Structure 1
Amino acid sequence: MSVTDFAALNLSRATGAGLDPHEYLRVTGELTDLDGWGEAFMRVAGEHLARAGQAATAISSGEHFQVAARWFHFATLGPNRERALAAAEADAAMGRALDLLDPAARRIEGRDFAGWLRGPAGAAATAVVVPGLDSGKEEFHDVIGALLRRGLAVFAMDGPGQGVLAATTTVRADYHRVVGRVVDELGVERVGLVGLSVGGYYVAESAAREPRVAATVAVSGAFRLDWDDLPPPLRDILVQRAGGKEAARRFAGQVDLSALAPRIASPLLVVDGGQDIVPGMVNCEALARLAPHGRYLNVPHGDHLLGNARPDWLATAADWLRAALT
C-alpha cells in the first residue's frame, strides 16, 4: 500500500482521535514512502513535548502532552522499528498530561491491563473503555470525555496486545477474564463497557460471560472473523499482535459471537457505520438482533470507528450508557 493510500485510510481515524487534520495532512504529505511513517510521527510527537516544556501555563503544557501522546500512538500504526518505544512514550505523555489536567486521575494496573481511572469520587457508575486490535487508551479521548461530562467514572485501558502492553503480551479472545480482573481492581459491583473495533467483540464477549457487566456499547465491532478472507494488512496486524501466524489464525477462529449473543442479559447498544466494510470482518447487526436487549444504530455514511460521523452517534451512545447504568 502506498503512503498516500495509507494516510487517506487513516485520516478519519486520526482526526476522530484528536489529531489536527491540517497537521496530519502536512506530515503525511511530506512522506515519500510508508517506511518513514513511524519516524515522522514520533518526530511530531517530540515537537509537542518540546512545546509542553516551553508552555506558559500548566493547562497549555498538559494539552501539548496530550497531543504528543496521540502522535506517539499513531506512530505505532504504520511501519516503525521503534513501535514499542512509541507506545511507551504515548503512555508516559498521557500520564504527564493527566498530572496537569486531571490530577485526581488514578493509574491502575494488573498483570494484563493498564490505564487511568478518571471522574468524580463516588460516581454513580463506572464505564470501562476498551480499545481494538491496534488501538490504545490514548486514542479515544472524545468517547472518554463524553462519558466524563455525563458524570460517570471512566477507566480507559490497554489490555493484552494493546497499547503499552503490546510489546509484552498478545491478544486473547477470552477477554472477559481481563474485564473480570479490571472490575476486581476497580472495586465496584458493576460496570458499563464501551468497545471499539475488535474491542466491540471484546466487550460483547465479556457481557455474555461476566455477570458484573451491566450495559455495553459496541462500536464498529466484529461479530465474526474469517481468516481466509481478511485483507493482508489486517492479517499482518493480527500476526503481530498475536505473536505469530498460527496464533493469529487461532484467534480469528475464536472471534464468533453467534452462540454468545443470546447470552447477553444486560442492555446492549451496537453502533455500525454503513461504509465500514472490511473483508473477513462481519459487522455487528446480528449481535444486536440476537441479544435479548440489543439495540442497533446504523449510520449509513459512517466509516470504521465512525470518525467521520461523531455527531450522529457519540452523544446518543453516551446518553444511552449513562441511562442504562444509572
Structure 2
Amino acid sequence: MNLADFVEINLSRATGAGLDPHEYLRVTGELSELDRWGEAFMRAARGHLERAAQADTAISAGEHFRTAARWFHFATLGPNHERALAAAEADTAMGRALDLLDPEARRIEGPGFAGWLRGPAGAAATAIVVPGLDSGKEEFHDVTDALLRRGLAVFTMDGPGQGALAATTTVRADYHRVIGRVVDALGAGSVGLVGLSLGGYYVAESAAREPRVAAAATVSGPFRLIWDDLPPFLRDVVVQRAGGEDAARRFTGQVDLSDLAPRIACPLLVVDGGQDTVPGMVNGEQLARLAPHGRYLCVPHGDHLLGNARPDWLATAADWLSGALT
C-alpha cells in the first residue's frame, strides 16, 4: 500500500480515536515514505509529552499525556521497527494520564491481558472494551468515556497480540478464555462486552461460550474472515500478530461465527458501516440475524470503525449496553 492510500484509510480511524485532524494531516503531510510513519508519529507523541511537562495544571498535563498515548499507539500501525517500543510508550503515557485525570483508575493484569478499570466502586454493572487486530486500549477511550458517563464501571484492555502485549503474545481465536480470566480478576458476576473491528469477533465468540456475558455489542466486527481474499497489507498485519504465515492462516480460518452465533443467548447489538467493504471480511449482518436476540444497526455512510459517523452510533450503542446491563 502506498503512503497516500495509507494516510487516507487511517484518517477516519485516527480522528475517531481522538487525534486532532489538523495535526494528523500536518504530521502525515510531512512524510515522504510510509517507512517513516512510526518515526513521525512517535515524534508527535513526544511533543505532547513535552507539553505535559510544561503544563500549568494537572488537568492539562493529563490531557497531553492521553493525547501522547494515542499518538504512540498510532505509531504502531505503519511499518515500524520500533513497534514494541511505541506500544510500551503508549501504555506508559496512558498510565500517567490516568494518574492525573482519574486517580481511582486501577491497573489490572493477568495471563494474557492487561488494562485499566475505571468508574465508581459501586457501579451497577461492568463493561469490558475489547480492541481489534492491530489496536489497543489507548485507541478507544472515547467509548470508555461514553460508558462511564452512563454509570458503568469499564475495563479497557489489551489481550493476546494487542497493544502492550503484542511483543510477547500472539492472537488467539478462543478469546473467551481470556475474557473468563478478566471476569475472574474483576470479581464481577456478569459483564457487558464491546468489541471493535476484530474485537467484534472476540466479543461474539465470548458471548457464545462464556455464560457470564450478560450483553454484547460489536462495531465493525467480522462474521467471517477469508484468507485468500484479504488484501496483502491486511494479511501482513495478521502474520505479524499471529507470529507467522501458517499461524495466520490457521487463525483466520477459525474466525467464523456461523456455528456460534445461534448460541449467543444474551442481547447483542451489531453495528456496521455501509462503506466498510474490506475484501475477505464478511460483515456482521449475518451475526445479528442468527443470534437469538440480535439487533442490527447499519450506518450507510459509516466506514470501518465508523470514525466518520460517531454521532450515528456511539451514543446509541452506549445507551443500549447500559440499558441491557442495568
Structure 2 residue aligned with 1:179: 179
1:18-29 correspondence runs (5 A): 18-29=18-29
| Helix, strand or coil at the partner of 1:144 | helix
Per-residue deviation, 1:121: 1.1
| Helix, strand or coil at the partner of 2:173 | coil
Cα distance per residue 1:249-269 (max 9 Å; x no partner): 000000000000000000000
Give the length in aligned residue pairs.
326
1:76 aligns with 2:76: yes
Structure 1 residue aligned with 2:310: 310
Distance 2:110 2:239 in 1: 24
Structure 1 residue aligned with 2:196: 196
Contact 1:262 1:291 in 2 (8 A): yes
Distance 1:66 1:162 in 2: 18
Structure 2 residue aligned with 1:285: 285
Contact 1:4 1:29 in 2 (8 A): no
Distance 2:293 2:4 in 1: 42
Runs of 4 or more consecutive aligned structure 1 residues displaced over 4 Å after TM superposition: none
Cα distance per residue 1:153-199 (max 9 Å; x no partner): 00000000000000000000000000000000000100000000000
1:15 aligns with 2:24: no
CA RMSD of aligned residues (A): 0.4
Per-residue deviation, 1:270: 0.1
Distance 1:35 1:317 in 2: 36
Distance 1:199 1:111 in 2: 18
Distance 1:5 1:253 in 2: 28
Structure 1 residue aligned with 2:252: 252
Distance 1:168 1:259 in 2: 31
Which letter does structure 1 place at the counterpart of 2:152?
Answer: L
Per-residue deviation, 1:2: 1.8
Structure 1 residue aligned with 2:208: 208
Taking structure 1 as the reference length, what is the TM-score of the superposition?
A: 1.00
Cα distance per residue 1:220-267 (max 9 Å; x no partner): 001000001000000000000000000000000000000000000000
Structure 2 residue aligned with 1:325: 325
Cα distance per residue 1:96-141 (max 9 Å; x no partner): 0000000000000001000000001110000000000000000011
Which letter does structure 2 place at the counterpart of 1:163?
Answer: G
Cα distance per residue 1:66-123 (max 9 Å; x no partner): 0000000000000111000000000000000000000000000001000000001110
Per-residue deviation, 1:316: 0.4
1:20-39 correspondence runs (5 A): 20-39=20-39
Percent of pairs with identical residues? 84
Which letter does structure 2 place at the counterpart of 1:199?
Answer: G
1:91 aligns with 2:105: no
Which letter does structure 2 place at the counterpart of 1:32?
Answer: S
1:146 aligns with 2:146: yes
Structure 2 residue aligned with 1:127: 127
